[in-house]
Amino acid sequence: MSAGALERVIRRAGARRAEAAEHCELCSEPVPADHRHMVDTDRGELLCACRPCSLLFVRDAASRGHYRLVPQRRIRLAPVSTEPLGVPVGLAFFVPRADGTVSAHYPSPAGATEWEVDAQAWRQVVDNCPQLADLAADVEALLVNTAREARHHWIVPVDDCFRMVAVVRREWKGLSGGGRVWPEIERFFAELTEHR
C-alpha cells in the first residue's frame, strides 16, 4: 500500500469515528460520553443534550415546551409489589405521564414492549410506596427486576431504563435469552448507585 493510500485510509477511519461520536440532538454540538438526556414528549423520544442545552432547559422551565431534562436521581426502594399492575414478566419499568396515565414497559429482543397501566392499580401501588408519588412525569420511572429470584426496585431516570433495554437487545440469544443476558442484567443492576 502506498503512503497516499494509507493516508486516505487513516483519514476515512478518523472521519467515521468523528461521524460516530454523539452529538446534541438540539444544537448538533459534540457531546461527551457522560452527557445528559432530554425527553421529547411530543415524539416520545430520548435525545442527547450538550451541557449548554441541558442548562438552558433546567434554568428556563417555562420555555421548554415538550422537552424535559432527564434528572439524575436514583433511589433504591424496599420491595414494591407490582402484582396489581398485571405485569406479565419480572423485568419492567413504569413511567408516569404528565396527563396522569402510566405506561409500563418490559424489554425484549425487539426493544421495549409498552402497555398502559390501570389507573386504580397504579394508585394502589403508590399507596403502598408513597415515594412513587414524586416520580417526575415522562422522565423518571419505577424500575423492577424480580426475574430469576432477583429483587431490585428503583426510582431511576428513564435513560437508565433504555440502557437496560439495550442490554437485553444486545445480549439476548435464542428463545430463552441464552447464557449471557441474565448475568448482564444482574451486572446492570449491581452497577446502579443511589444519587439523590
Please report the DSSP string for 37-80 in residue order. Answer: EEEETTTTEEEEE-HHHHHHHHH-GGG-TTEEE----BEE-S--
The total of structural domains in the chain comes to 2
Q: Which residue has the higher pLDDT, 83 or 76?
A: 76
**Both 56 and 89 in a single domain?**
no
pLDDT of residue 59: 52
pTM of the entire predicted model: 0.82
Task: Tell me which of 46, 69, 92 is where a domain ends.
Answer: 69
Q: Which of 29, 50, 69 is the last residue of a domain?
A: 69
By residue range, what is the domain housing residue 23?
A: 3-69
184, 121 Cβ separation under 8 angstroms: no
Name the more confident of 196 and 16: 196
Helix, strand, or coil (residue 150): coil
Domain boundary among 23, 48, 69: 69
Determine the pLDDT at residue 40: 87
Q: Are residues 33 and 123 in the same domain?
A: no
20 and 41 both lie in a single domain = yes
**The cell 405485569 sits on which residue?**
87
Model confidence at 16: pLDDT above 50: no
In tens, the pLDDT along 137-190 reads 999 999 999 988 889 999 999 999 999 999 999 998 888 788 889 999 999 999
Q: Is residue 195 part of a domain?
A: no
Predicted local distance difference test score (pLDDT) of residue 64: 53
96 and 176 belong to one structural domain: yes
Checking phi first, is residue 71 left (phi over 0); if not, alpha (psi -120 to 50) or beta?
Answer: beta
Domain match, 86 and 61 both: no
Q: Is residue 87 part of a domain?
A: yes
Give the pLDDT confidence score for residue 17 in this predicted structure.
46
pLDDT at 18: 46
**First-to-final CA distance of the chain:** 56
The residue-averaged pLDDT of 4-19 equals 50
Establish if 196 belongs to a structural domain: no
Express each pLDDT in 90-118 by its tens digit: 899 999 998 999 999 999 888 888 999 99
46 and 80, same domain (yes or no): no
Question: What average pLDDT does the structure give for the chain?
Answer: 85
Which positions ≥6 away from 17 have C-beta within 8 Å? Answer: none
